[in-house]
Amino acid sequence: MYKALSIKQDDIELRLSQIRENFKFFGAPVGMIVTIDKSFAENGWGHVGMFIQNICLSAVERGMGTCLQESWSIYPETVKDILNIPDNEVVWCGIALGYPNKEHPINNYRTSRESIEKFVTFIE
């Protein structure tokens, strides 16, 4: 990603400034914070994950894009304070939502995908 942005590995200032973009939702017009009740067990977290995935897919269907951001969970107390989130909630992640700027290099960077054989065991 830093390569796509022409940010060199040893350029700490630029790397930090890219990290700080997280806390502006990368300029997206909509920012969401996902919280989960502390009492939820692993299956509950799984359900919320599926809910988040549906938001991402619905966005794409409408020509929009999202960026999931676990970085918001680094500062849970600040996020809770500002948004009046009760203490029984865990701040899990943020979701930036908007129309992608197709000219921006970060939106032309693609991560590779594992082949299906690497994560599925077929039993015949």
Ligand X SMILES: Cc1cc2nc3c(=O)[nH]c(=O)nc-3n(C[C@H](O)[C@H](O)[C@H](O)COP(=O)(O)O)c2cc1C
Does 22 participate in binding ligand X (rule CB under 6 A)?
Answer: yes
Closest contact distance (angstroms) between CB of 68 and ligand X is: 4
User: Is residue 121 involved in binding ligand X (CB under 6 A)?
Assistant: no
Spatial neighbors of 44 by CB under 8 A, at least 6 apart, are: 36, 37
Which is closer to ligand X, CB of 22 or CB of 32? 22
Stretch 47-66: interaction string toward ligand X, x if CB under 6 A? --------------------
What gap in Å lies between CA 112 and CA 116, rounded to an integer?
12
Residue nearest to ligand X (CB): 71
Q: How far is CA 37 from CA 23, 33, 81, 109, in A?
A: 23, 13, 16, 34
Question: Taking the complex as a whole, how short is the minimal distance between the CB of residue 74 and ligand X, in angstroms?
Answer: 8
- Partners of 36 in the β-ladder: 90
Binding residues among 99-118 for ligand X as defined by CB under 6 A:
111
CB atoms within 10 A of CB 95: 20
Q: Interface residues with ligand X (CB under 6 A)?
A: 22, 67-71, 93, 111
